[in-house]
Amino acid sequence: MKNLCPECQTQMHPTEGCDICPNCGWSSCDNQEVIGRKADLGKLRYDLIPPMALHETVKVLTFGSKKYSDDNWKKVPELKKRYYAAVQRHLWAWFRGEDLDQETGYHHLAHAQCCIMFILEFIKMEEANDK
C-alpha cells in the first residue's frame, strides 16, 4: 500500500526514518523542526524550464538589448507578423543545417525561441489590457 501524505495525498518518500511529502513538505518525524516545510502543491514548476536552452535564449536577448535597447521588441510595428517571419527564417536556417546565426554566433533555435516569446508576450499583454 502506498504511503500518502495526509495533507495533499501525494506519495510520500522515506528519508532518515521519516516520511516526507515532496509536494507540501509534510513530515512524519516527531520533531517537526528537523525538516522545513514548503507547500508547493499546485504551484507552477519553473524548475522544469531547461536551463541550457534558457541560457542560450538569454544570450540572444542580451545581444538584442545591446544592439537595439532593452525591450525594443515591444515597439516593433506589426510585431506578430514580423516576428513570425523571423521565427520562420531561423527555423529554416536550422533545418537546412545551419546551427548558428551568422551575425550573432548564437543558435538559430535560441533566436526562434526569442521570437516566439515576443509573440506570446504580446498576445498575453493584449489579453490583459482587454480585461
pLDDT at 37: 65
Of 9-23, 68-82, 92-106, the poorest mean pLDDT is in 9-23
User: 36 and 89 in contact (C-beta within 8 Å)?
Assistant: no
Pairing mode, strands 18-20 and 13-15: antiparallel
Q: How confident is the model at residue 6 (pLDDT cuts 50, 70, 90)?
A: confident
Q: At what angle do helices 108-130 and 51-67 cross, to 10 degrees?
A: 80
pLDDT at 86: 98
Please tell me whether residue 31 adopts helix, strand or coil conformation: coil
Of 18-22, 35-39, 94-98, 118-122, the poorest mean pLDDT is in 35-39
Range picked from 17-21, 47-51, 66-70 for highest mean pLDDT: 66-70
pLDDT higher than 90, residue 18: no
Stretch 7-35: mean pLDDT: 69
Stretch 49-59: mean pLDDT: 96
